[in-house]
């Protein structure tokens, strides 16, 4: 799931869309426990509404630790070694998927 999240962020923040991903929640949530595959939901949000997502909660299905993409983390993540990949490998999405993503963003 983390690989799909990383690729989605890369595509959304890339030159094709130029969006800023403020938050990315990855994991098994109550609404997706029996689902195979992944679900990506996008939300255009204000800073005021973002504060509600970051607020402490006792909700069992909501993550207690919030990670902010594009902002300095409270604790730095350990550095991972670089892994060489073959040319042309990866999970780049095709033009049909890009069209679907562009329509969803609008």
Give SS3 for 9: helix
What distance separates the 2 farthest-apart alpha carbons in the chain? 46
Provide the whole-model pTM: 0.51
Q: What is the pLDDT along the chain (106 residues), one digit of tens a residue?
A: 788 889 999 999 999 999 999 988 887 766 656 667 788 888 898 988 888 888 877 776 676 544 455 555 555 666 767 766 656 555 567 788 888 878 888 7
Find out whether 17 and 11 touch, Cβ atoms under 8 Å. yes
3-state secondary structure 32-100: HCCCCCCCCCCCCCCHHHHHHHHCCCCCCCCCCCCCECCCCCCCCCCCCCCCCCCCCCCCCCCHHHHHH
Return the domain boundaries, the chain: 1-106
């Amino acid at each position: 799931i983390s690989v799909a999240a990383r690729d989605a962020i890369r595509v959304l923040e890339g030159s094709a869309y130029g969006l800023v991903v403020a938050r990315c929640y990855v994991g098994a949530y109550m609404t997706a426990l029996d689902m195979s595959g992944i679900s990506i939901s996008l939300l255009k949000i204000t800073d005021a509404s973002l504060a509600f997502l970051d607020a402490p909660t006792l909700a069992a299905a909501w993550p207690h630790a919030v990670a902010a993409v594009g902002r300095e983390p409270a604790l730095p993540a350990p550095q991972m070694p670089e892994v060489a990949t073959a040319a042309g490998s990866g999970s780049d999405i095709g033009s049909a998927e890009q069209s679907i993503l562009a329509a969803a963003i609008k």
